[in-house]
Every structure is written in C-alpha cells, then in structure tokens.
Amino acid sequence: MSAQSSLAGSPVVAEVDFAAKGRQAGHLRVPQSRDDSGWGTIPVPIVVVANGSGPTMLLTAGNHGDEYEGQVALLDLARTLKPEQVQGRVIIIPAMHYPACAAGKRLSPLDGRDFNRCFPGDPFGGFALSLAHYIDSVLLPLCDYQQDLHSGGTGMDIVASTAGHVLDDAGLQAKTLAMADAFNAPVTMLLREVNAGPTLLAQAEARGVVALSSELGGGGRLNPANLAITRRGVANLLRHAGILDGKPEITTPSRRMTVPDLAHYVFAPCDGIWEAADILGSSVEAGAPAGLLHRIEDPTGPAIPLSYAATGLLWCVRHAGRVKVGDPVAVIARDL
C-alpha cells in the first residue's frame, strides 16, 4: 500500500498554504522510506510571508549542503520578515536539500546525488528527485523571481558572485541582468545557456521566471564578509522586486564577467597537494605560474608546476589542500 502518496498530486505535501496571507512556517513533507519506517518522511522547513499585492520571489539555499552564506542569510530572513513589511509573497527554503545540509556535505548522504543535477525531477524517484519535481512543478509556477544561493563548498573558494545565463529571450535577459545588478555582488558571472545541465536555474528559466544562481564564497566555511554581501543582496532583491520598500543598496557596481572555455581552467594532472601562486581575486596572466602540485609518493622528485592558460581575474581557487587528478585548481574569469 502507499497510503501517503494517495493523498495529493505529488507525494510531497506542504504544511503551508501558498495562497494564504500572513506569515506561515511549516515543512515540505517528502517521503523517504527506510527499512525501519516504510512510510517515513523528511520534513524540509519552509517559510512563507505574504501580504497585499505584488510579485512572488522564491529564495533557496542549501542546494548543496556545504554552502553556508545562503543558509544563514535565509534563516535570518525567515526569523525576521514580517507580513506588514511585504507587498507580494516571499517563499523561503533555507536548507533545501535537507539531508545534505544536515550532513554539511555537497552531495546527498542518502544516495550521493547532486541536487542541482536533479531537475526537473521525478515524483517517485527518491528524495532528491521527488523534491526537485515538487519545486519545479508546484513552486516555480507560483514565482516571478527565483534566487538560488550557492557558494563554492568544501573544495572551492570563489569571488562572491551572482550567476546567470546568456539567454535567447532578450526581455528575460534584461530582467536577469537588472536582478543581478540589484543583488550587487562584486561579480556577475554570465555563462552560455547551451546545455546548462538539469539545474534549478535552468528549470526556472525554462518556466520564464527571472532567476539567478550565485557563488558567494566557499572553503567549507561561513565567511563573514560574504555573509554580509549575501544578506544585503537578498534584501536588495526584495527591494528591486518591490516586495520590500526602498531601493537596493548599491556599493561598487557589479563587474560582469564570464568564463568562456576550458582554457580558463587549470586542472590537476595527478593527485597531490596544491600550493597556489596567487590568492583569490588576483589578476593573473596567461603563461604565469599558477602554483605547484606536490606529490607525496615521490619526495625526491620535483613538484609539478602548473601555469594559467588565460588572462583575467582569479575568480575561483581550490580551497582543500589535497587534490585528485582532474580537479580544477583555478578558474579565470574575464570581463564581458
């Protein structure tokens, strides 16, 4: 028998009413069968604040569980946002891929899945696919805006950036750039849309939602400077959309950049310990040394020197000291 799944159009059930006004806190209840609990569920916390009339914005973090700036900024917002401040609707999911967030891991401790490769999902494909299906088919259709808050995770550190796609739809593109300008991260990263993979961002775009992803730091830690950027960026987005009063607070305008091809990556050719030549955010030149890869298996052989193959901003660096063959140790961005 499948008692729960018979109760709704998707096996996921929300404890909040998206059509109601005011402030609600509850869960998305996602089935997760265990050997000792056949009808077990995993409740994913969700907060909805709605008032008056205005657009709907979906704010998500914890797509990857080891990316913390977004989770904390949204927990703060969820604790403090009052209906009377709002015109429209804000849907907040601070720890979306909940099992990964609870473990502090990028990938699911249940099945190793990368949640951001699970869209548009499958209602009965397991926790991650089932939740992705719900977000895509139930939540995105409610939305005008969507911001998914990422950082670089355990392995990478990244210059705080929002990230969007180069879109065929000029109108949607303009709205996306305006949204990124309002967020006002130091960098706005624009990547080609072709074959973006089954991400939440790609799915939001496919549904015509004005949407951004982001990379707001990393290194597996909560960086205070990046947390401040994230908190301000989220408030800016709500102001930009007219959901909160006021104008976005803009410091230096965001720098629009891209990573055009694989030549802007430096990959580790073998396992080793990475000693970088430059710090995150440096300006680097093609041909210059990127760093040394030290090999513990051969203490008398030389460390392996790697060089940049492109000129630009050292936008992303390997954080973790130990790297495996094929890991990127540096990514260069250039201005658009």
The binding site for Ca ion (CB under 5 A) comprises 64, 150
- 309 binds its own copies per the rule CB under 8 A: no
- 154 binds its own copies per the rule CB under 8 A: yes
Find, among 63, 279, 44, 43, the residue nearest to 163 by Cα. Answer: 63
Find, among 229, 231, 236, 70, the residue nearest to 150 by Cα. Answer: 70
- Output the smallest distance, CB 247 to its own copies, in A: 27
Nearer to its own copies, 77 or 243 (CB): 77
- Output the smallest distance, CB 186 to its own copies, in A: 15
- What is the rounded distance in angstroms from the CA atom of residue 104 to the CA atom of residue 120? 24
Residues of span 231-250 touching its own copies by CB under 8 A: none
- 82 binds its own copies per the rule CB under 8 A: no
Nearer to Ca ion, 23 or 64 (CB): 64
Stretch that binds its own copies, among 38-46, 171-179, 235-243, 246-254 (CB under 8 A): 38-46
Beta strands in the chain (DSSP E): 13-14, 22-31, 41-51, 56-61, 88-93, 145-149, 156-158, 161-166, 187-192, 210-215, 255-258, 265-267, 272-276, 283-284, 289-294, 304-307, 312-318, 322-323, 328-335
Task: Candidates 51, 56, 146, 214: give the one binding its own copies (CB under 8 A).
Answer: 214
Task: Candidates 138, 142, 167, 196: give the one binding its own copies (CB under 8 A).
Answer: 196
Site string for its own copies, 259-288 (x = CB under 8 A): xxxx--x-x--xx-xxxx------------
Q: Which residue is nearest to Ca ion (CB)?
A: 150
At 84, list the tokens. Answer: 């009377």
Nearer to its own copies, 72 or 206 (CB): 72
